[in-house]
Amino acid sequence: MELDNNNHSVFPMYYHLIPVVKYRRKVFDDPISDYAKSVFEKTAPSYNISLPEWNHDVDHVHIMFKAQPDSELSRNPGEALEGILPEPELLSSHGRGGSTG
């Protein structure tokens, strides 16, 4: 395990974030996941975090991110994804998602 350090501490700070689609609708496929990942990677530096792992299923995403002690986690990095992806209703009108399965 790789440890990070600063002037006063040695630490590994990994967080596992799992955003779930409302009503667990099946909307995540590779293009949507790639888009969400690119948005997360663009916003990550402003939160002083890095993204070592990203995986998705059809109704949720697994995000493993690495933070520093001075990271402002009260500024929730998951909020960066909120409102960026299209609504499930829009996806279902294009033949994707929309079921509450």
- pLDDT tens track for 46-78: 778 889 999 999 999 999 988 887 776 666 555
Give how far the C-alpha of residue 31 lies from the chain's centroid of Cα atoms, to the nearest Å.
14
Domains in the chain, number: 1
| 31 in any annotated domain | yes
pTM: 0.66
Burial 62-84 (b: 16+ CB within 10 A, else e): ebebbbeeebeeeeebeebbeee
Q: Residue for token digits 């596992």?
A: 16
pLDDT at residue number 9: 80
The CATH number covering residue 47 comes to 3.30.70.1290
| 55 in any annotated domain | yes
The neighbouring-strand residues paired with 54 are 63
At 83, which amino acid appears? G
Q: What count of residues does the chain have?
A: 101
pLDDT at residue number 97: 47
pLDDT at residue number 60: 92
